[in-house]
Chains A and B, each alone.
Chain A
Amino acid sequence: MLDRENTIQELHNGFIKEYSGIMFKELAFVKKINLRGDPNDKKFLSTNEGALQSTLPTKPNTLTYNNNIKTIWLGPNEWLIADYDNNNINDLFLKLQDINNNEESSITDVTENRTIIRISGGKLFKLLSKFLVLDIDKALYNESSVAQTLFIKVSILIVRNHKDNELPEVDIYVNRSQANYIYKLLVDGTKNLDF
């Protein structure tokens, strides 16, 4: 039983919450761009990588980054570009739009589709493993790992943020309408982490 209602509204305006040593933060309007195209197309690859100043990851379940812009593998011909700075993103979007203004590739602004819940703490993986069908220790074993999977019944994308010697921290990308549901479950899950 939940002894009180913890809704995701308590994370509004960048407010940070802590439960049993697990920190929660919402990154609400991180700019996200969906990019699709053929990675065997040399021109597609070089122009987009030039604009992003990082490579497009072709290895499944990985990401590459340049400063605070992450390029996340979603599929063999699909990527998600997330700009955590939100600064010059419109320039970047327009640049990418210009590059991909053709029949073979496409670019879409999907910022409002998903929100990001950032979670960190020593027992983070133990908490997450309560809800996931994925073997998270294996899936996020390497730095720059990502995984698309199910959280109970909700489709999510998990991005590993920490380096090997740092405290575990992940970003969970989840549909805005389902964010509250998984936030409540996560907070509830922190209550018996010591067993």
Chain B
Amino acid sequence: MFLIKCPYCGEREQSEFSCGGEAHIVRPKNPPDLTDDEWADYLFMRKNIKGVQFERWNHSNGCRRWFNIARNTATDEILKIYNMGERPPKIEGNDLKTPSGEPEIGSGNISTSFKKE
């Protein structure tokens, strides 16, 4: 659970919101021209990034408005909240070698010893 700052209502509990999935997916201009694969790609295939992801969220149990969020899916850190229709922002300073700072090779959770600069 985390807090989200609704652009209208202010900071609220995550349970008041619902996530609408990946943002900035453009509907193809002429669907009949697409192959089944291309259409399925548009319809179903989504990125599942460990790191900064651009998502649509709705304050469904509040003002019921949509907005975009840039969220680090590894740490749940919300880096930017911006309006629908805006271009995705450039996010800098969050480029960990791996999203939650664990070693690139091998496993094991050493995130507790990781120091963020």
User: Interface on A for B, CB 8 Å cutoff?
Assistant: 60-61, 74-76, 78, 133-134, 147-150, 155
Contact partners of A133 in chain B: CB under 8 A: 12-13, 15-16
Once the chains bind, are A76 and B8 in contact (CB under 8 Å)?
yes
Alpha-carbon distance A158/B64, docked complex (angstroms): 16
Check A75/B15 contact, CB under 8 A, given A60-B8, A60-B9, A148-B9.
no
Once the chains bind, are A148 and B15 in contact (CB under 8 Å)?
no
How many contacting A-B pairs (Cβ < 8 A)?
A: 37
Contact partners of B12 in chain A: CB under 8 A: 133-134, 149
List, sorted by A's number, 12 A–B pairs whose CB atoms are closer than 8 Å: A74-B63, A74-B64, A75-B8, A75-B64, A133-B15, A134-B13, A148-B9, A149-B12, A149-B16, A149-B61, A150-B13, A150-B61
Q: How many residues of B contact A (CB 8 A)?
A: 13
| Interface residue? B62 (CB, 8 A) | yes
Q: A133-B12, A155-B60 are in contact. List 16 more A-B contacts (CB 8 A).
A: A60-B8, A60-B10, A60-B63, A61-B10, A74-B63, A75-B64, A75-B65, A76-B63, A78-B63, A134-B12, A148-B62, A149-B12, A149-B16, A149-B61, A150-B13, A150-B16
Contact partners of A76 in chain B: CB under 8 A: 8, 63, 65
A11 to chain B, nearest CB (A): 25
Q: Tell me the B53-69 residues at the A interface (CB within 8 Å).
A: 60-65
Once the chains bind, are B63 and A75 in contact (CB under 8 Å)?
yes
Contacting A61 at CB < 8 Å: which of B9, B60, B65?
A: B9
Alpha-carbon distance A133/B12, docked complex (angstroms): 8
Alpha-carbon distance A155/B15, docked complex (angstroms): 11
Alpha-carbon distance A78/B8, docked complex (angstroms): 12
> Which residue of B has the minimal Cβ distance to A74?
B63
